Structure 1
Amino acid sequence: MNEGTNDVVVALIMLGVGIVLVFWGGAALRALIALAGAFVGFFLGAEIVQDRVGGELLSTTGGWVAAIVGAIVLGLLAYFWYWLGIVLWVGAMGYVLGVVIANAFGADEEWIRTTVGLVVAAVLVVIAVVASLPALLLIIVSAASGATLVVTGLMLLFGVIDGREVDRAFSVAEPAWAWYAAAIAVFVVGLVAQLGMTSRRSAQGVGG
């Protein structure tokens, strides 16, 4: 595959997963947990190979093999061990949010973005476990992380960024404020949609 094709494939994956998370992430966590584990494993495997050989994400056959193996392994683990899936999902989404936050404050160094991402991931995992994963937390995290993936996928699909800039998309895209505004808009739409579905299910439960 050439670089352009790789970017389109990655962008479509991001868009697909992002849309699901934005509109159904909190409500359908059990159904999505294996997919979320597979998603994390896919990019984890790809990034491991990229770190070793360099180049763009998924630019080599080895990168694709590692990504597919990672997706299968973590997807199966998430399916059979639900709480491991929860940790993977919340941690991964927290990491994405942390990187976006770091970019928003102008972090240029990779280690700074990584550190902030890991800290946010750890905080969300602790909150999730201690609070027994309240529905509102799941809705907020899924809508926010999904919005980030959707907008990043759009940037990649339309050539605003390339495969090497995915982890710092919001800091390199121009105009940055427009992309942040788009992410916030998608987040709000997803949040309203998920809260509406939750309210309707609660009303149906009471009525039943």
Structure 2
Amino acid sequence: MKTKLIVLFIFISLFNGYSQKRFEAKKLGFSIDVPKDWIAVENDEILKNLNSYDFTQEQLDELLKSYNSSVNLASFTKYDSKKVSGIIPTIKIRTNKNETNNSKDFLKFVSNSTESAKKSLSNFKFIDSPVIIKISNLDVIKFSVQFTLNNGGKEYEIVSNSCYIPKNGYYISLNFIEEFNKEDNKLFFEELIKSIVLTN
């Protein structure tokens, strides 16, 4: 009986630790599980515009392409930055411009874009090179990198796990950033990737 109670307690603890909520951008055909106890910073204005108006697909594509730089849809941090210093595990969901027409060209674009990252980030290297994987039977790009970030005279080794989802004229980027060897949330990130649903 005691053994059963211990097993039940462990199961409940794990379930509570990984309880999820869902982030959804309906007009983009994108949704993903996010930890319910993480701190959410959603771009309410962008999401409201996307979800409130009956855009045609062409209008939506043009709207997202019209932004000169990336549009942050939402960010989720594991800890409160006012209470915890240093690099906090963070999930960022954005849209960016995409001028490619197929998966192979998009893969090449992602690989080439890292060249500029190498110039601006110290000790930049791939942990996992960009590859095409399937999510909801659609091609997306997944990769992970490591680099050194200087902040306030202190160096931090950063790991960034990424998933890029190409759309017509733009792509959705999902980035999970954390400090190397401080916490290891890679398996957790893999579970988030598995939770992605793409509907168009």
* TM-score, with structure 2 as normaliser: 0.26
Higher helix share: 1
Q: Which has the larger radius of gyration?
A: 2
Which one has more relative contact order, counting CA pairs under 8 Å at least 6 apart? 1
Higher strand share: 2
* TM-score, with structure 1 as normaliser: 0.26
